[in-house]
Chains A and B, each alone.
Chain A
Amino acid sequence: MRKLWAIGRKDLIVLFRDRAALILMLAAPLALTVGLGLVTGGFSGGQTGLRDIPLVVVNLDQGPLGAGLTDLLQDDDLQSLLEPAFLDDPAEARRQVEEDAAAAAILIPQGFSAGVLPDAGGAVGPPAAIELIQNPGRPTGSAIVASIVSGYVLRLQAGEVGAQVVVSQLVASGRMLRQQIPVEAPAIGRRLAGNASNFSLIQIESDVAAAEAPASFNPLAYIAPAMALLFLMYTVGMGARSLLLEHEQGTLARLRASPTSESQVLGGKLFGTFLTGVAQLAILITATTLFFRLEWGSPLGLAALILAASAGATGWGAVLAAVTRSPSQVGSIGAALMLSFGILGGSFFSVELGPPLLQALARLTPNYWGLQGFTALASGGTLADLAGPIAVLWFMGLALFLAAVLVFRRRGAARG
């Protein structure tokens, strides 16, 4: 055990003295956490950049409905969300969207109101539609504008449909004379469109699936462990590289010449990788706690999860060392493994709703199980809730370690 500890400690110190390695072990995950935190609003209480969405509006309608929409877009409730600019020229509005100066353009055509509201004689003009030009480079902002405009159009439709239904039923049941229609229909339509309760007849209650889940979920509680786990795979790749480097430089043979068995040398090297992984995760977690005020959950569960995640990743490091032949090969295959596991394991986006093949592949990565554990922990989970991910990660680590030992022995036998 002393020898294991001595070899492991030496590797830990060597890696933490390597400034180049520290860039990827610590600086890169922190930098990407900050970048992704900005995207998801992790630093602003869930507020992303979707504020002051630039919008251009051209209102050519002379009636009340066009004015109603422009009033809505300037409403106090939407003040922080939208930044509308009013123009007279539809071509200029289109140009602004094409040049990415606006997320969307709303063109209210001449005669829009007249196409919906009957005139004094009860006649309705030809139907005209509002045109919404979306910016394909700003899919979310333009979708929000579309949602607001379609909500307004739905209100108009409520008045239009409601008036037709009421009037036709009243006439059919003999409660209204046909000659009363021009007078009564517009009034009924206005009453329907103006009554806000008509649009909230169906109330949607929200419920979060996990009973322990907090009311709001900080996106950083997902991003920070996701990035830490992504670069944990880099660290175990470095461990594998160190093993092959010792072999290439002859120091491994020198170690074997000492009264240290081959399994002690291999165990010690992998123990060093494991320790480095634990130290890396612990430092990143401490840093994100201090810098981003992130709450990771139960300290006991956190410690157990760090150990398990490092064990699972070290297993993959052992396999990497066993199947590659040179330090440079470890470098490129290790980096490919890091990125593949990061993407498959959910470091950049969730694969949960993906096809079965992708979901099955995700479960082979320590990133997936680690993230399951860290997310459950941040959502208020206890040590018992982490039992599954922790068990899988330790099993993964041990099984892969055994597989790597078998490959090493076979390669050793082949060399004679």
Chain B
Amino acid sequence: MKALLAIARKDLLLRFSSRSEWLFFLILPLAFTAILGGGFNFGGDGDPRLPLFVVDEDGSGLSAALLADLGRSSTVQAHERSRAEAEAGVEDDEAAAALIVPAGFGASLAAGEQARIVLISAPGDIDVLAIGQAVRESAARVGVAVAAARVSREEAEARRPFSSPSERQVYFEEGLRLAQETADNTPQRLKVTSATQADRGLADYSQPAQASAGGIVTWVFIPLLGISALFAYERSGGTLRRLVTTPVARSTFLLGTIGGQSLTALAQIALLVVFAAAVFQVPWGRSPVALVVIMVTFVLSSAALGTALGALVRTEAQASGLSIMLGMVLSLLGGCWYPIELFPSAVQAAVHLLPTTWAMQAMTDITMRGQDLAQVLPEAGVLLGFAVAFFVLGVARFRYE
């Protein structure tokens, strides 16, 4: 036991001999979780909606109705601008898009004709998709009200013509007002809920939860793969060979190195979990047992992969490079940066060969779906399976020189 502790202590001293290690251990993970989890709102106005510049060149009641509907959107935050300001703003990336309501918009609709609006977007900006959807929904709602008023006027005219154009116009405007009022009072026909344990009061998809889980996997996974560099360092310095002359068993050495790094990783996870729970109210604590089981199995599988990698690489530099590259690629493919639903279906199936995918899946189950130990046991089992397989490979291929 003394030997184990001595080896673990030595590795920790080596790792934290440079103060810059704290950058990776805590500072960068916290900073990135804060930036990604906060939806980029630090120092902003606190509104998570996407800014959209709107230009009302029509000035009619119908253009105002469209902009008012957009103002109630949960996706976009509408800011009125002149056309020149809006165009310059999109080119300067102040907003991903600008909506122009041209002169004649209201007159066209009032005449029963189609009207057009123009959505100017920044090239290559993915936020444009969400903004476009919000604009389409508002346009459809206003269109429905206009259609109701228009059909109402046509029905009336077919039964008894209006005495004057102004009476016709008043009838239309009254119909439009009635349509908007009726739409507001229509019973709810669609109820959207989330597949979470409702009794636990969990929310649906949560960007802070995604950022926290993705951050934990990424920033804990990379240093654990770095165990390979520790082995390579000892091997290149000849200190591993020296161990043969001591009464320390190979298993004690491996256990000391891996155990020390794993405990450090668990401490790092604990700090990141507390941070996300305190700052972003990520519900990590709903099932503490499930959380502990998943984190321990994830750490074991990652440490085991680092051990296997350590048996395969030749130099410390090679190990460091491979750890960072594999860590980043496996985190990306495991869904830590973007949900894996965005991958083609063949890739979605293939990434189940990666421990990062199972770890992310389990963390999503805990934070977003509110699942407990029984429900995350399959993921824990797979992670444990990875741990056993990688450890067997690493120990079998382990060499002193």
Contact = CB atoms under 8 A, between A and B. Distances in A.
Interface of A: 18-21, 23-24, 27-28, 31-32, 35-36, 38-40, 44, 47-52, 94, 97-98, 100, 103, 105, 115-116, 127, 129-142, 146-147, 149-151, 153-154, 156-158, 160-162, 164-166, 168-170, 173, 175-176, 188, 191-192, 195, 197-210, 213, 217, 219, 221-222, 326, 328-329, 331-333, 335-336, 339-340, 343, 348, 350-358, 375, 379
B144 A198 contact: yes
Contacts of B179: 161-162, 165
Contacts of B6: none
A40 B337 CA distance: 12
Contacts of B144: 154, 157-158, 161-162, 198-199
Given A127-B187, A129-B188, A154 B145 contact: no
26 contacts: A24-B321, A49-B343, A116-B189, A132-B192, A135-B194, A136-B369, A137-B361, A137-B365, A146-B192, A157-B189, A158-B148, A161-B182, A169-B175, A173-B171, A175-B159, A199-B143, A201-B146, A202-B116, A202-B139, A202-B142, A204-B116, A207-B119, A209-B121, A333-B20, A333-B23, A339-B28
B123 A210 contact: yes
A199 B186 CA distance: 18
Given A137-B368, A161-B182, A358-B42, A98 B195 contact: yes
Contacts of A137: 205, 339, 341, 361, 364-365, 368-369
A395 B315 CA distance: 38
Nearest to A139: B205
B87 A161 contact: no
A49 B347 contact: yes
Contacts of A129: 187-191
Contacts of A336: 20, 23-24, 28
Contacts of A98: 195, 369, 371
B191 A20 contact: no
Nearest to A130: B190
Contacts of A103: 341
A203 B182 contact: no
A160 B147 CA distance: 12
A136 B28 contact: no
B254 interface: no
Interface string B155-199: 110011000000000010011001100110011111111111000
Contact of A20 (B44, B318, B337, B340): B318
A36 B338 CA distance: 9
Interface in B21-63: 21, 23-24, 28, 31-32, 35, 40-44, 50-51
Given A103-B341, A165-B149, 7 more contacts: A39-B342, A50-B341, A129-B188, A153-B189, A161-B144, A332-B21, A358-B42
A149 B360 CA distance: 29
Contacts of A134: 192-195, 204-205
Given A103-B341, A127-B187, A32 B44 contact: no
A44 B42 CA distance: 35
Given A132-B193, A134-B192, A358 B175 contact: no
Contact of B195 (A20, A133, A221, A379): A133
Contacts of B136: 204
A169 B174 contact: yes
Nearest to A25: B321
A356 B94 CA distance: 10
A55 to B, nearest CB: 12
B73 interface: no
B133 interface: yes
Given A162-B152, A207-B121, A208-B121, A348 B337 contact: yes
Nearest to B177: A165
A178 to B, nearest CB: 15
A76 B232 CA distance: 58
A153 B137 CA distance: 12
Given A202-B139, A204-B136, A31 B329 contact: yes
B189 A156 contact: yes
Contacts of B93: 350, 352-353
B186 A160 contact: yes
Contact of B18 (A132, A328, A355): A328
A328 B90 CA distance: 44
Nearest to A217: B124
Contacts of B41: 355
B312 interface: no
A35 B135 contact: no
B193 A331 contact: no
Contact of B35 (A157, A188, A343): A343
B344 interface: yes
Contact of A140 (B95, B146, B204, B339): B339
A320 to B, nearest CB: 11
B389 interface: no
B333 A35 contact: yes
A100 B324 CA distance: 30
B178 A168 contact: yes
A352 B21 CA distance: 30
Contacts of B236: none
A379 to B, nearest CB: 5
Contact of A132 (B21, B23, B190): B190
A343 B32 contact: yes
Contacts of B23: 332-333, 336
Contacts of A352: 93, 96, 122, 125
A169 B96 CA distance: 42
B103 to A, nearest CB: 15
Contact of A165 (B182, B187, B317): B182
B17 to A, nearest CB: 8
B206 A24 contact: no
A151 B109 CA distance: 21
A351 B348 CA distance: 27
B385 interface: no
B328 interface: yes
Contact of B123 (A97, A140, A217): A217
Contacts of B322: 20, 23
Question: Nearest 9 A-B pairs (CB), nearest first?
Answer: A355-B44, A198-B147, A127-B187, A355-B43, A136-B368, A354-B40, A352-B93, A162-B148, A20-B318
B321 A209 contact: no
B140 interface: yes
- Residue from B175, B315, B339, B340 with most neighbouring chain A CB atoms (10 Å): B339
Contacts of B107: none
Contacts of B192: 131-132, 134, 146
Given A98-B369, A170-B159, A204-B132, A31 B325 contact: yes
A48 B347 CA distance: 11
B240 to A, nearest CB: 19
A53 B309 CA distance: 37
B368 A166 contact: no
A149 B341 contact: no
Given A139-B205, A332-B18, A175 B156 contact: yes
B43 A173 contact: no
Interface in B183-236: 183, 186-196, 203-206
